[in-house]
Amino acid sequence: MYHHFPDGKQQIAIEAVSRIRGDMLAMMRKLAIEQRSVAEIVRLLAKGMAAWLKQSRWREGTMLATATVGSVPDLPAVHTVIKGAFDEWRNYLTMLLTRERWTHSDARTMAQTIVAAIEGAMILARVDQDERVVLNVAESLISLLEPKLTMRVAKTIARR
């Protein structure tokens, strides 16, 4: 396998993070194109991640957390790729939340909260070997997202 990665473990980590980054962003974009709310996107991503964890028999999990613990700050190239992945996800979620009429500041904070909570839930679910951890955390996030969405829709209707 290493003959495909002449730079060794660092190159493998970079390639893995890049793939996960792209896969996650592609899924968020697909759901956004389907006109899904951020709450729905969080729910669907969590369901998929929880199923993936269980299907892997808890052997797979969040590659970004694993790569972060094993490389930041000692491997600057891996750090850069990981930061890029987290930044891209947070930026995309921020943009989606601003479309749902969140202020940019609130949207950025919520995007950070979503990414941190889901990444943490994946770790805990793997440790507990219980996919419900991811689903429960997602529902907690949704409880923060949906009232704001409902309130914004009501204000928009009232202005008409």
CATH of the domain at 13: 1.10.357.10
Predicted confidence (pLDDT) per residue in 79-128, tens digit: 999 999 999 999 999 999 999 999 999 999 999 999 999 999 999 999 99
Q: What is the mean pLDDT of residues 54-63?
A: 85
Whole-structure pTM value: 0.85
Measured N-to-C along each axis, helices 38-55 and 76-99 cross at an angle, to the nearest 10 degrees, of 140
Is 38:96 a contact under the CB 8 Å cutoff? yes
Is the pLDDT assigned to residue 42 strictly greater than 80?
yes
| Secondary-structure percent of the chain, ordered helix, strand, coil, rounded to 5 | 80, 0, 20
Count of structural domains within the chain: 1
Domain that residue 115 falls in: 2-159
Q: What is the mean pLDDT of residues 54-72?
A: 82
